[in-house]
Amino acid sequence: MKETAEPPPALGAALTPRKRRAVTERFFQLLFFTCAAVSVLTTAGIVITLLGETIQFFGEVPVLDFLTGTRWTPLFASQHFGVLPLVNGTIAVALVAISVAVPVGLLTAIFLSEYASVRLRSVVKPILEVLAGIPTVVYGYFALLFVTPILRGVFPQTQIFNVASAGIVMGFMILPMMASISEDALRAVPRDLREGAYALGATRLEVVTRVVVPGALSGVLAAVILSVSRAIGETMIVAIAAGLQPRMGFDLLSSMETMTAYIVQVSLGDTPQDTIEFSTIFAVGTLLFVMTFVMNVLSDFFVRRYREAYE
């Protein structure tokens, strides 16, 4: 200890002068801060605009009517502002998408993390990434021009625009995200635990179903929630393939309008701005924002839980 009390002078001389470093240091600090500030301000700006317009809208339409009404006809002579049909359509499409994406995605993740050889994995992963990189408009036309005709072949009563076709294709769009987040969660389950189970005479299937998947459960749940959130917010596929008819019920072969499709319909249509009809899209947008926000917070909560679990 005594020898180190006074460092030899050569060591001190080798240090960089503080001043120059300090200037570059401050420059980058400022740069990073500015970039971070831009995104925060943008978000704040969007939220404020949205809220402002929404508050105006609720000055004319009671919140309760909006949230509980089952008729949505703002563009017709007899106006009704009950948003439930749009919510209904959104949930219907999301449910179809989730029932494709979650099981297929989870099984893909299990395959990649537990069964695939290194080589097979190096083939399957890029294919999934390609799937994730396809523009959603392509998925939309794929649903309309390829999946819908098949559905009509099987169920003749299927409408041209329908929930099932849009939902199924949306499921495949979400699949890569579901698979990749779940795979990360499965891989985060320590090797120790797998070996512990194998050493007790568990088969691979038993290790997967009773150790790996339960161990990764919160991560898998986070993936499910993010997928739901993605399905709720997805716009292009539903605008192209699911139709524009606000409707209650769960007849998946018929056309329904989702919240996102409605926003597209009005913003691209000839509805004059500064009318109550036009400001409906802000109210619907706010509701959509709240829904996806809650989903993302939930999934964040689960992700944090599974990160902590093994540390």
Partner 1 sequence: MIDLRVRERPDLRPTAAAAASNGQTDIVLMARGLSFWYGDTQVLDGIEIDVPGRQVTAIIGPSGCGKSTFLRCFNRMNELVPGTRVEGAVVFGGRQINDRAVDPVEVRRRIGMVFQKPNPFPKSIYDNVAYGPRVNGFRGSMDDIVESSLRRAALWNEVKDDLKKSGLALSGGQQQRLCIARALAVEPDVLLMDEPCSALDPIATTRIEDLIRELCEQLTIVIVTHNMQQAARVSDRTAFFTVTDAGCGILVEHSETQKLFTSPADERTEAYITGRFG
Binding site for partner 1 (CB under 8 A): 117-118, 190, 192-203, 205-206, 209-211, 214-215, 309
CB of 197 to partner 1, least distance (A): 7
Output the furthest CA–CA distance in the chain (Å, rounded). Answer: 92
Other Cβ atoms within 10 Å of 113 Cβ, number: 21
CB of 205 to partner 1, least distance (A): 6
End-to-end CA distance of the chain: 35
Give yes or no for a contact between 232 and 166, defined as CB atoms under 8 angstroms apart: no
Closer residue to partner 1 in complex, CB, 126/214? 214
Cα 290 versus chain centre, distance = 13
Closer residue to partner 1 in complex, CB, 185/211? 211
Closer residue to partner 1 in complex, CB, 54/218? 218
Closer residue to partner 1 in complex, CB, 75/193? 193
Alpha helices in 188-255, H assignment, sequence order = 191-199, 204-207, 213-215, 217-233, 236-241
Which residues are CB-contacts of 132 (< 8 A; sequence separation ≥ 6)?
176, 177, 180
CB of 220 to partner 1, least distance (A): 15
Other Cβ atoms within 10 Å of 185 Cβ, number: 27
Closer residue to partner 1 in complex, CB, 217/276? 217
CB of 124 to partner 1, least distance (A): 16
Closer residue to partner 1 in complex, CB, 217/248? 217
How far CA 117 is from CA of 26, 82, 114, 121, 203, in Å, comes to: 48, 53, 9, 6, 18
CB of 1 to partner 1, least distance (A): 28
CB of 103 to partner 1, least distance (A): 17
